[in-house]
Amino acid sequence: MKKIFAILSLIALAFVGFFKGEAMATEKQTVIILLGPPGAGKGTHAVELSKKLHLPHISTGDILRENLRKQTPLGERAKTFMDVGKLVPDDLVIQMLLDRVSDTDCQKGYILDGFPRTLAQAKMLDEHLKNRGEVVTVNLSVSDDLLVERITGRLVCKKCGTPYHKVFSPPKKDSLCDRCQGELYHRDDDNEKVVKERLAVYRSQTEPLINYYKEKKGLFYEVLAAGNKSEIFENLLHTIQKSIK
Ligand code: ADP
Ligand code: ZN
């Protein structure tokens, strides 16, 4: 009798385990892709979106800079490209992204900032996301002259990554983050020469992704990203919220 009871308990446990596993594997994800040139405000808005939507903000630029600081092998390889405004090779970035999105905090979805940046990255992401849920792509559009001005005046928090601008959105206290009191710094690649190269790279390798996503007939939106920051954010949030309901 005892034996039968033990066997039945085991079967019941196996069932529960199986269904739990299934539920986790099939949990629908919401993935938000922010497209747009450097300086369009992807990072600024992604930080806020992350709080409102309770999804992690994944910035490939931030992950790379973290690797640079820690002098990891990936960081060492990436540095030569980042310093001159070129893209880090696809194989490195793709692996790095796949690792990051397999973390448990990404189970419900995530917000991508700075990825994909090439057609190869976009195709890999499609393959990875197949049947996993909803993908919303938003392109933040801004004119070129504004971009250079925004980037060269940019300051970023060392601790939490929040971006500021010397003129357009200065911190309350000089060189300290309003949010976490972290130290603000000027990115090495945010100088005029490298910015011009980053914009050229954007035009040739990343801008074509707009048509790629338009032609896929998924959820694709354009949000004008010049003007008042909080108005742009409300517009962006509204666009996303109405599409993922
Ligand atoms: P930006 O302000 O130009 O959007 P990021 O912080 O996103 O800057 O990226 C900084 C640099 O990191 C890029 O110029 C590039 O060298 C590298 N990088 C970031 N994301 C990618 C990516 N998806 N593919 C290749 N390189 C990347
Ligand atoms: Zn901060």
pLDDT tens digits for range 4-59: 666 666 666 555 555 544 444 557 899 999 999 999 999 999 999 999 999 999 99
pTM: 0.86
Kindly report which listed range (89-103, 116-130, 152-166) carries the lowest average pLDDT score: 152-166
Residue 198 is a catalytic residue: yes
Q: Which residues contact 219 (CB under 8 A, 6 or more apart)?
A: 134, 135, 136, 137, 243
- Kindly tell me if the per-residue pLDDT of 3 is higher than 90: no
In whole angstroms, give the CA distance from residue 134 to residue 25: 15
Question: What is the pLDDT at residue 28?
Answer: 86
Residues with beta carbon < 5 A to ion ligand 2?
Answer: 157, 159-160, 162, 177, 179-180, 182
pLDDT of residue 88: 98
| DSSP-assigned beta bridge partners for residue 176 | 183
User: If you average pLDDT over residues 118-144, what whole number do you get?
Assistant: 93
Intervals of CATH 3.40.50.300 along the chain: 28-142+209-244
Concerning whether 159 is annotated as a catalytic residue, the answer is: no
For residue 143, the Cα-to-chain-centroid distance in whole angstroms is 21
Of residues 218 and 64, the one with the higher pLDDT is: 64
CATH superfamily of 28-142+209-244: P-loop containing nucleotide triphosphate hydrolases (3.40.50.300)
User: How close is the Cα of 111 to the center of ligand 2, in Å?
Assistant: 19
* DSSP H helices in the chain: 2-26, 42-53, 60-69, 73-82, 90-101, 119-129, 144-152, 192-201, 208-215, 229-244
Residue 244 CA to ligand 1 center (angstroms) comes to: 27
Ligand 1 atom closest to the CA of 86, numbered from 1: 16
